Chains A and B, each alone.
Chain A
């Protein structure tokens, strides 16, 4: 499935633009992401892109090394593992009844420029 990189970047920006003051463990309190996760979910829902977002996040969690470098964002410099943990948490919060893909198991998604859709 081909998904617009710009579209997903727009949603992920809710998380990746977060600025945190210097903390030892940015994942110590996941509740700081709640407002951003909810806003992201609302934006995707409004756009009718909730399914696409879910598939994309699952694919990112399943293939972090191949996908996340393109979506690191401009906020707090989360490490790959941290971002995976946040996305995993995000999926569980937005779609509590759906399983989150394990490493390498997600349905394939190809992130492309809008012109290549």
Chain B
């Protein structure tokens, strides 16, 4: 620094410096420096004192110029301060040169000591600043929670980093320690957060893996899914490790719940499967077990089904299964009993028959007592069978062979024993067997004669058979009867059958006038048992016509027989394959000889089976291919080329190889389908895995690529194996389960949404449903399936609400339209003007007149347009309810007009139990016995009338002759029209029959017209309506017929000439909700 830059005076002008310099000069023996003016002294002493004073001043001056670092603690400053004090003490009078000299020496050391103190202070201050800076620059660990962050911030803000007192070594160390404490705490927080997040992830994985059994009841699964979702949220929101760990108990509970549900579901499925198998078994035995046993089996089945339905625990299901398991053995016993009973009844009846004719009083008495005994045993056995004891029932029947019964002798009136020994009567049993053989071997010849229209000419054969049978069965004359049967058998085989065989060729030409005389003669011979002559006539016909007529008939018959098949096959194939059948078929009629014609037809006939097999194989393979292609995201034809070989061969007309290729392709397509399913499942699960599962996602992607390569080479096992490994991964299983459940719900919701939106008119209202649905789908695409399910939870009530609205709106609109249509119809049917108004007033009772209904409808529509479904629903329902009074009035008036019974039989006022009773007993709710296999009722009178009107409109479109009011038809016009009306919401319910009740009629068990059981089918949405033409009765009659045959008979009966235009009117004959083609599981019709 230059002097000019400062204000520091020249040192030589500073008195202190001057004094100091003087002292130094003297000390060094150099006298007084020139730059310093010598003090004025009077003598030697004065000079000495002046020098001391000057030195003193200099010492003090220097001493005063020294400053200590006050920030250091006093104890550390004290040694220097002591030195300074001692120096200052030496300057106190009396002034001593030596003391001053010693003080000067001490003073000279002081700056170094002070410098050392300054260094110490700076070092400490630097250390504290460093610690503070380090503390301030630390970050909170990732995932640190608020309390931890607060604690860390407190440590960062520690006083140690900003000391206010002396900067001692302990204070400095305290700052450094504070930094260490902060770092230690950060490390601890990091460790805690890692442990916490690790635990959180562990528990989330556990939650995600909790998969309720898919087949369990929807409500249970949904409740569990909600719990799982809630639990997952709780884990994600939990703050502390303790909070997270606390969820473990809940997860364990959930896992246990799912396990229990799984066990319960497994038990239920097992029981249901067993029940289904038992049900199928029971129904398959309906014709092979005795009716009472069948009833008992149904009862067991019903009881088991009730047990399954009401089961609430595994033990309950096990008990139900035990009951189900007893059904199959029972059926075996029942079948055994039935077979035994049939045989027993035949033998018993046969034996009783052999006792003699009723003209013999003894035989009659014996027969009477034994027939009673037989029937009693049959009755008792039936009771045992109905009670489920088939073995006891069989034993009961067996008593017939071991019991002696008493009969009253007609001459002596003495009670006499008659032993029943049917089983010991070998002649009788042998004859019975002979009849059975005859039935199998010879009776078909008699049946063939009947089929060929020769029953009158061969009736004697049947008579001969009956006589032989009677001779044995009734008279016990087994020897003669057997001889007669054998003779008849010979005649049938040797004489009759050849005639029939030959005649078959002429059946097609039998009405040809040219042949009629010969055929008449042949029939006469046949009737008079001149079989050889009959055969000769037929042979002569061949000769007389050179076989031409027969040949022509044979050709035409065969062509007619083949025509449908040829047409169908030709429609199914193209190219060379089509030509292979069409060419000979077209050419056959043009051939000049019968042989050539038949040869062509023969080629067609021979080609048909192969073509049918080809079509069957091709259709099966192509159908499966199309289905797979439709459900796959890729073009499977291009990618896997499973059918290329078969298609090439088919196009080339190589029938056999093409058929084989298609047949061989089928298993490949099945494997391809399985592969596509598995790959799609794995792909979806892989995409849905969270990013944290990156390694697994990569592994899945690799497996999919490799599996696809294998699949393209048709190495299905290899492809399956590659997919299977990852599909077994618990994460994948968990994701796949979530996806499956979500997809199932999404599909249901989508279908319901589509149904509802289809019937909405307001775009705004439609969009209200799209938003949550799209939200759910969007979430699913990001793999957040639990969140996506929750979005569906939001959608579902909206959908239900909207569905109710569209149903209510449609119902109200139809009801109102129907009411008005019926009003018009009834007014038109009434000629009196005053009566017309009375009708309208009855149908629209105040205050709900037509104007009021219109206003209400408009208000309801406005709500719907604003998206207020519930409000609109309420209003539409109110409109329907208000209209009901008028509807009931209208319905009764219309039904009376039409002579119908659909309101009485299927109206909403009918009791549901009465519908069930109708199926079970055949008795209709109106009391008439009219058995049907189903019985339905409307839920609402508005629906009944509205659908009736819609049906009427459809009928008029289908058949233009259908009109309101009186009209006429011409002879031969159609008299019936059937229409189905589909409704947007359920309008009725039904009972549908199960197995028919077996009845013993005319000597055999057969299906009856009533039923053992029936199933309740709610939710029907289709209405069946049959509209028929009801003829006006002819003069003198009151019968209103609905068929041409009957009406003509009625006209003839009353001698009324048939008109050209037949008067009458169309009326609704049947009108009810139909369960035909309805699937209760999907709620849709096929």
Contact = CB atoms under 8 A, between A and B. Distances in A.
Interface of A: 1-2, 5-6, 9-10, 13-14, 17, 19-22, 31-32, 34-36, 38-39, 42-43, 46, 54-55, 58, 72-77, 79-80, 98-99, 107-108, 113-114, 116
Interface in B1032-1079: 1042-1046, 1070, 1072, 1074-1077
B974 A42 contact: yes
Given A10-B980, A22-B929, A17 B1070 contact: yes
B1009 interface: yes
A13 B561 CA distance: 28
Q: 7 smallest A-B Cβ distances: which pairs?
A: A39-B976, A74-B934, A77-B933, A22-B929, A42-B974, A35-B1043, A35-B975
Interface in B715-761: none
A80 to B, nearest CB: 8
B561 A22 contact: no
Nearest to A42: B974
Given A13-B1076, A55-B564, A79-B1007, A6 B976 contact: no
Contact-residue size bin, chain B (C-beta under 8 Å from the other chain): 35 or more
Contacts of B978: 10, 13-14, 17, 39, 43
A73 B936 CA distance: 13
A46 B961 CA distance: 14
Nearest to A2: B619
B572 interface: yes
Interface string B107-126: 00000000000000000000
B932 A77 contact: yes
A54 B561 CA distance: 14
A21 B1076 contact: no
A99 B996 contact: no
Interface of B is mostly: mixed
A113 B1070 CA distance: 26
A26 B612 CA distance: 38
Contacts of B565: 107
Contact of A107 (B568, B1074, B1086): B568
Contacts of A98: 560
B1011 interface: yes
Interface string B926-941: 0011111110100000
B373 interface: no
B1045 A31 contact: yes
Contacts of A74: 932-934, 936, 1024, 1072, 1074-1076
Contact of A9 (B1010, B1026, B1072, B1076): B1076
A104 B632 CA distance: 38
Contact of A77 (B976, B1009, B1077, B1085): B1009
Contacts of B934: 74
A22 B930 contact: yes
Given A9-B1077, A73-B1076, A19 B1070 contact: yes
B568 A79 contact: no
A79 B1074 CA distance: 20
B1072 to A, nearest CB: 8
B61 to A, nearest CB: 117
A58 B564 contact: yes
Nearest to A108: B612
Given A14-B978, A76-B1009, A99-B560, A21 B928 contact: yes
Contacts of B1074: 74
A77 B931 contact: yes
Contacts of B612: 108
Contacts of A10: 978, 980
Interface in B696-728: none
Nearest to B901: A19
A73 B933 contact: yes
Given A1-B571, A5-B1086, A42-B974, 20 more contacts: A19-B932, A22-B922, A22-B929, A22-B931, A22-B1009, A35-B975, A35-B976, A35-B1042, A35-B1044, A38-B976, A39-B975, A39-B977, A42-B959, A43-B977, A55-B564, A73-B933, A75-B932, A77-B1007, A98-B560, A107-B568
**Quick one: which of B936, B1042, B1044 has the most chain A CB within 10 A?**
B1044
Contacts of A54: 564
B246 to A, nearest CB: 52
Contacts of B806: none
Contacts of A5: 1077, 1086
A77 B921 CA distance: 12
B1028 interface: yes
Interface of B: 560-561, 564-565, 568, 571-572, 612, 616, 619, 623, 922, 928-934, 936, 958-959, 974-978, 980, 993, 996, 1006-1007, 1009-1011, 1024, 1026, 1028, 1042-1046, 1070, 1072, 1074-1077, 1085-1086
Contacts of A46: 958
A1 B203 CA distance: 57
Contacts of A20: 930-931
A38 B974 contact: yes
B915 to A, nearest CB: 12
Nearest to A116: B623
Nearest to B1073: A74
Contacts of B572: 1
A13 B1010 CA distance: 20
**Quick one: which of B616, B1009, B1077, B1086 has the most chain A CB within 10 A?**
B1086
A72 B1028 CA distance: 21
A21 B1085 CA distance: 29
A21 B930 CA distance: 4
A80 B287 CA distance: 13
Contacts of B933: 72-77
Contact of B1043 (A19, A34, A107): A34
A76 B978 CA distance: 16
A113 B1086 CA distance: 6
A57 B1075 CA distance: 22
B1022 to A, nearest CB: 11
Contact of B929 (A21, A42, A77): A21
Contacts of B959: 42
A38 B565 CA distance: 26
A14 to B, nearest CB: 6
A20 to B, nearest CB: 7
A75 B1086 CA distance: 19
8 contacts: A5-B1086, A13-B978, A22-B930, A34-B1043, A34-B1044, A42-B974, A77-B1011, A99-B561
A26 B1024 CA distance: 23
A72 B572 CA distance: 30
B920 to A, nearest CB: 12
B1086 A6 contact: yes
Contacts of B993: 77
B932 A79 contact: no
A35 B1030 CA distance: 12
B928 A6 contact: no
Contacts of B1026: 17
A66 to B, nearest CB: 14
Contacts of B619: 2
Nearest to B565: A107
Contacts of B1042: 35
A54 B1086 CA distance: 21
A90 to B, nearest CB: 14
A49 to B, nearest CB: 14
Given A22-B930, A76-B932, A77-B933, A6 B1077 contact: yes
A5 B1085 CA distance: 11
Contact of B1028 (A35, A79, A80, A113): A35
Contacts of A35: 975-976, 1028, 1042-1044
A50 to B, nearest CB: 13
Contacts of A116: 623
B505 to A, nearest CB: 15
Given A19-B930, A22-B931, A35-B1043, A14 B976 contact: yes
Contacts of B977: 39, 43
Contact of A6 (B1006, B1075, B1085): B1085
